[in-house]
Amino acid sequence: MASVTIEAEPTSLAIDLQKTALIIIDMQRDFLEPGGFGETLGNDVSRLAVAVEPCRAVLDAARRKGLLVIHTREGHRPDLSDAPPAKVERGIPSLRIGAPGPMGRILVRGEPGHDIIPALYPAEGEPVIDKPGKGAFYQTELELMLRNRGIENLLVCGVTTEVCVNTTVREANDRGYRCIVLSDCCASYFPEFHAAGLAMIKAQGGIFGWVSSSKAVLAAID
């Protein structure tokens, strides 16, 4: 057993690294770069950039230690058969899901914008979960992958804090996984939502999980 103790809130916790996976959620060009889905919704996509370097540091450390690394991407089939009308039709974006954009069709699998940013690109053999919704467990093989590998703990990074990260953490919590969310490895278009999203996770004795940081995780696993 390779047990380490990670400083976190509301309490520090000891985890077995052999039963721990790093999951990096939706660090896609469509969310982080101009011309993608995030910008079509009227967001300042540059606000997500703060999470990239902390994520890369943790990703590098996880690879050195041989941790299971899983990446996720939100997006839809080219025929949009897995995109609920309520999702496609909501609001007044500049471009809707499936519409042609500067990086290909918006939030469609296989298009350049759907792919993960170069700085965090998956290494050969690292699983990539393509999900049609916010949560990484919904309509995906994520749970099967984790169970088959005996994973009990998840180090969670990605965007956005209050949407796909929070949804995935809640899904994981209901399935019995311990989630440690790395605050500086997550980001939001809305700083106040980032803070609230983290507060919700660690409230009430860690009702959904723990909140830590890249620095604390690197100190523990290196």
Cα-based angle 35, 40, 43 (whole degrees, multiple of 5): 95
Please tell me the pTM assigned to this model: 0.97
| pLDDT score of 2 | 80
- Paired sense of beta strands 100-101 and 68-74, if any: unpaired
Q: Following DSSP, what letter does each residue of 114-134 receive, concatenated?
A: GSBPGGGPPPTT--EEEESSS
* pLDDT at site 73: 98
179 is annotated as an active-site residue: no
Q: What are the pLDDT digits (tens) for 107-166?
A: 999 999 999 999 999 999 999 999 999 999 999 999 999 999 999 999 999 999 999 999
Query: What average pLDDT does this structure show over 4-11?
Result: 98
- Each residue of 35-90: pLDDT tens digit? 999 999 999 999 999 999 999 999 999 999 999 999 999 999 999 999 999 999 99
Catalytic entry in 19, 55, 131, 202: 131
pLDDT-derived band at 222, boundaries 50, 70, 90: confident
Q: What is the pLDDT of residue 65?
A: 96
- Identify each DSSP E strand in 46-168 by its residue range: 68-74, 100-101, 104-105, 128-131, 153-159
pLDDT over 80 (residue 1): no
Q: Which residues contact 198 (CB under 8 A, 6 or more apart)?
A: 161, 181, 183, 186, 211
Q: Find the catalytic residue in 55, 157, 164, 179.
A: 164
- 17 contacts 67 by C-beta, under 8 angstroms: yes
Q: Is 164 a catalytic residue?
A: yes
Paired tokens of 132: 């049609």
